Structure 1
Amino acid sequence: KNGFLLFFIHSTDTEPTRFHLIEQNKTWLVAQSICRENYTDLVSGSKQLYDSEFTILPKTDKDLWIGLFRDTWKWSDNSSSSFRHWDQISEQDDNSDEGRDEDQKCATVSDGKLSSDDCDGEHPFVCYDDEVILIRVNKTWEEALDYCREHHRELASVTDCHQQAQVQQRAKRADTPYVWMGLRYTCTLGFWFWLTDEVVDYKNWNSTTEVDGCDMSGAMETGGGHKWFKKSARKEFNFICLRR
């Protein structure tokens, strides 16, 4: 894909995360950009680092960039960084105020151990795909729903900021100004609901909150702040599905 040598590891369980080893040496920021453009992000979080699908990636003797960078140490996709299995040298360097190299701000992994390196250094890296997929075909909300249920699992829900980040990352590559989500309005009961039966607690609506009619569904804008908009279900947009 795009001239990069990729190894695809496909999950066979209920969590459809996919890991992609990119065997070209890039700086951390370039690696992050490539992952975000073509997948979801650099591999992030201890859950992914110790996922069985990640640990069976083709072996390499090189350190691999991952999505951890030092700004009080954060993961690229904003997930928790409370647990880190540093190697002995890097742990000493990270905890020592004397002689600390402030340029060493990004993390690599090798044999399950984390190290830090200058973010301008070049390493291969690992991207991940999350559980959502963009379908770049224009359909009404009902048609999008049928497509997702036939070919994948369901129209995507966005119930927290992490899911919002996942979906908006996909939405950036859409051909339409909005993408359908699995958000529907019931005129009879007067509230919005997710098709996955999750409560609409997390919200990212645009400033206009009025409902213009009963045949309304929720769509995310593909640019700007990726806010949610109430759109007639008869309009045709690209859409986001949950993978099986």
Structure 2
Amino acid sequence: MTKFDGEGRWTNVSCDNKKPFICYDDKFILIKENKTWEDALYYCRDHHHDLVTITNMDDQRWIQEKVKNASTPFVWMGLRYTCTLDLWFWVSDEVVRYKNWALDGQMDDCDMSGAMDTGGGHQWKKKKDTEKFNFFCSKN
């Protein structure tokens, strides 16, 4: 096995040596197809789990790294506005606690959903459901 020695060099060590390691679960996937918000929702539910829910800064940062590979100026998230209840909600039923709205991004209009800006600050903006963007699915 080859490992990084911490001084800028790779060294060979026996595979019998037990060492700590970091494991991560890549639970988000960028779909580089242009779809309306509703079509993106059905695609994620049919092929993966759901449109992505961002509940904390760690999820935000993880998606920010992946969003750089998008081919559209925004990517859909599982964030939706309901006129009936006058609130934003995640399609996963998570409460919207963590927020990363652009200053002009969150206006309460019917038929709007949340999308992340793929450049700059990766902030959230409301977009018409009929616009077509890449999107993020959650895997579980």
Question: What TM-score comes out, normalization by structure 1 length?
Answer: 0.50
2:9 maps to 1:121 = yes
Q: Which runs of 4+ in 1 moved over 3 A?
A: 126-129
Cα distance in 2 for residues equivalent to 1:210 and 1:159: 17
Written as runs of structure 1 = structure 2, the 5 A alignment for 1:206-221 is 206-211=102-107, 213-221=109-117
The one-letter code matched in structure 2 to 1:230 is K
Q: Which runs of 5+ in 1 are unaligned?
A: 1-59, 66-115
2:48 to 138, 152, 171: 152
The one-letter code matched in structure 2 to 1:134 is L
Which residue matches 1:167?
Answer: 63
- What is the DSSP-based 3-state SS (H/G/I as helix, E as strand, rest coil) of the residue aligned with 2:96? coil
RMSD: 2.0
| Higher RCO structure (Cα 8 Å, ≥6 apart) | 2
- Note the C-alpha offset of 1:117: 1.6
- Note the C-alpha offset of 1:213: 2.6
User: Which structure features the higher share of helix residues?
Assistant: 1
> Over residues 14-55 of structure 1, what are the superposed CA-to-partner deviations in whole Å (9 max), with x where a residue is unaligned?
xxxxxxxxxxxxxxxxxxxxxxxxxxxxxxxxxxxxxxxxxx
Written as runs of structure 1 = structure 2, the 5 A alignment for 1:47-62 is 60=1, 62=2
Question: What TM-score comes out, normalization by structure 2 length?
Answer: 0.85
User: Identity rate of aligned residues, in percent?
Assistant: 53
Which residue matches 1:239?
Answer: 135
User: What is the aligned length?
Assistant: 131
- Note the C-alpha offset of 1:148: 0.2
Which residue matches 2:16?
Answer: none
Q: Which runs of 5+ in 2 are unaligned?
A: 13-21
Cα distance in 2 for residues equivalent to 1:123 and 1:163: 33
Written as runs of structure 1 = structure 2, the 5 A alignment for 1:5-154 is 60=1, 62-63=2-3, 65=4, 117-118=6-7, 120-122=8-10, 130-154=26-50
- What is the DSSP-based 3-state SS (H/G/I as helix, E as strand, rest coil) of the residue aligned with 2:136? strand
- Note the C-alpha offset of 1:209: 4.4
